[in-house]
A = this chain, B = another copy of it.
Amino acid sequence: MFKVNQNYGRLQGSYLFSEIARRVAAYTEAHPEKDVIRLGIGDVTRPLAPAVVEAIKRAADEMAQPGAFRGYGPEQGYDFLREAIVAGDYAARGVSISTDEIFVSDGSKCDTGNMQELFSEDCKIAVTDPVYPVYVDTNVMAGRSGGFDAERGEYSAITYLPVTVENNFVPALPRGDVDAVYLCSPNNPTGTALKSADLKKWVDWANANGALILFDGAYERFITSTDVPHSIYEIDGAKTCAIEFRSFSKTAGFTGTRCAYTVVPKELFGKGENGEDVSLHAMWNRRHSTKFNGVSYIIQRGAEATYSQEGAAQVRRDIDAYMENARIILDGLRGAGISAYGGADSPYVWLKTPGGMKSWDFFDKLLTEANVVGTPGSGFGRAGEGYFRLTAFGTKENTQKAIERLKNLK
């Protein structure tokens, strides 16, 4: 008799974006004349850089030629891309990472979701609150969450680390037993980033406790503050305690094109059955080559092009355009007397709802009175209640218009 993985029964519905869509559809149907501006979605809108498109088309042409055609590639990614990543993202910042510590993949969602397969079943995990739901859900599926407490909106065996105005959006080190912690910086959804000194505390804690840090750096390219590290490996000691996730999705507009990578240092070990050191690099290599077959050659050539002089400049212009939108949002909100955070090192602005409104109430008010769509902070976790996310991924014109309307909110 075929029985299913019962952990799936503990998953909570992910109603956030479907509920947003439902409310927006209901409103636009009732008010078809209204010009609704969407600043809720965490997806890029600017086209792929011309250098990327050219590289993709060149690679496609190669695939049409008998001598140049490529079948199965290395599961870990082609050396041309791994070397470009090492040179462009690490060596250029004085961080020494070797080519074979880079694992090219089709997305950071996949990698952050799959990495927990290397954990023991009883591994105790911690996440920040609010949080990107994939970290939690993939551990629920694997049976590490404990039961769901509907009243608290939390799983019993997961440690939640609030990040709020009160702690300046810097999670406190866990007090209880934690074996692995997910940190995202610059953060989705709060838009804030951990400074070197903050991250150093986490690295020291992890090394002292034999814990693992899953460092999600998908928004790295948006960093402008000089005291915010671009890689966790800029922090002394990180190679013995941290895995880093990076993506071309937001960096280079690859959300629909799909390419990312993960760094698993060779100095990184977990404990085996008898307390022996087990290489996480070797484990991930085995996992990656058993359950994955590499990213499309054509797409890897596109990703490589983001490191060329021309490609890097084009990608930079797109990032700058989004960051100009973030500035418009941030200035506009503050000008309107609304407390707003993030936006300096990320495309997300996290605002405190005026008058302590509930996140969903503010969503409704914004939608109906200003015709602007954002994302209720409570959708990302309990500590997100009373907050609201706006994104800088729209056009400049729409962003300006939305902020003007926000300023006139009663």
Contacts and interface: CB of A to CB of B under 8 A. Distances in A.
Interface of A: 1-6, 8-9, 11, 43-48, 50, 53, 56-57, 60-61, 63-66, 68-73, 106-107, 109-110, 113-114, 117-123, 134, 137-138, 141, 179-180, 209-212, 253, 255-258, 270-273, 278, 280, 283, 286-287, 290-299
B257 A3 contact: no
Given A57-B60, A63-B48, A71-B44, A4 B290 contact: no
Contacts of A46: 66, 69
A210 B271 CA distance: 39
Contacts of A134: 290-291
**Closest 4 interchain pairs by CB?**
A3-B120, A4-B270, A43-B71, A113-B291
B63 A257 contact: yes
Contacts of A2: 119, 123, 179-180, 210-212, 270-271
Nearest to A136: B290
A283 to B, nearest CB: 6
A47 B56 CA distance: 16
Nearest to A259: B296
A253 B297 CA distance: 13
A110 B212 CA distance: 26
Contact of A1 (B61, B113, B117, B210): B210
The count of identical subunits is 2
A9 B158 CA distance: 26
Nearest to A210: B1
Given A3-B179, A255-B71, A295-B258, A272 B9 contact: yes
Contact of A298 (B3, B65, B299): B299
A68 to B, nearest CB: 8
A392 to B, nearest CB: 14
Contacts of A290: 113, 134, 137-138, 141
Given A106-B106, A290-B137, A298-B56, A1 B45 contact: no
A45 B294 CA distance: 17
Contact of A109 (B5, B45, B286, B293): B293
B258 A294 contact: yes
A271 B3 CA distance: 4
